[in-house]
Amino acid sequence: MIGQGPAELVLDVGNSRMKMALFRNGRAVAHAAALAGDRHAMERFVGNNAIHRITLGSVAAPDPSFTAFLRASAPLTEITGASPSPVRSLYATPATFGVDRLANVAGAAAFLPARAVLAIDLGTCATYDLVDELAVHHGGIISPGLRMRAKAMHAYSARLPLVEPSAPTPLPGTDTAECLAAGTLHGLLMEVRGFIAHFRRQHRGLAVVLTGGDALLAARELKSGIFVHPLLTLIGLHALSHFHTAPGPAPHP
């Protein structure tokens, strides 16, 4: 049993993995990961905790049976990229805005309020989203993540092998595998550095928050005082869920 009293369950479902967190009194008290849609893993994670609310954010293909299972377990709030948000977004196509990116924006604004923040999520894709000190989302960038880069070079060539990028990776490489690893890892790191430098020229005092599966690897290599927050997306989903259901002023579009 984690703490006392009812808890809120927040689920961030990706194409292959599902991140889970229990929140009590507004704070994450436990977290874990499992295969997407694995209800048995979710039940083991919840254990004996009484769940009074579930929040779901998913970028995976719809899974009606899993959604029905959640609805039968507790009141369910489903967050999408077009859900009401405490952050005003300038995104021109909210219907195509990924819920993970919306959650990162909300999480960044909650984590570092009244400050310009660049939220970087390093997963299957690398996403960058800029929130200014007035909690306005200015849009972002999407590019291939580490493994997508490595797989693309292998898939779209006749002889290049598939490499698993990891640190440390020499620069320059001295054989084909090292060259591929160097291009994959250091190419992404230089991209990250370049975008950070670009937005820091525009926003004095810009904070940078990394999240996603490759965030720790990148942070160790960047070494520039960047925040790493593995629960940023889950915290953002929690904030969006409460904003979505709370009475008050009209939400930002």
Pairwise CA distance, residues 233 & 15, whole Å: 15
Handedness of CA 88, 94, 99, 101 (dihedral sign): negative
Put the strands of the sheet holding 136-144 in their side by side order. Answer: 88-89, 136-144, 125-131, 117-122, 207-211, 227-228
Catalytic site residue from 12, 38, 63, 100: 100
Q: Is 100 part of the annotated catalytic residue set?
A: yes
Q: Which residue, 51, 64, 65, is CA-closest to 10?
A: 51
Residue showing tokens 């869920």: 241
DSSP category for residue 81: T
Handedness of CA 221, 223, 226, 230 (dihedral sign): positive
Pairwise CA distance, residues 13 & 57, whole Å: 6
Annotated active-site positions, please?
A: 100
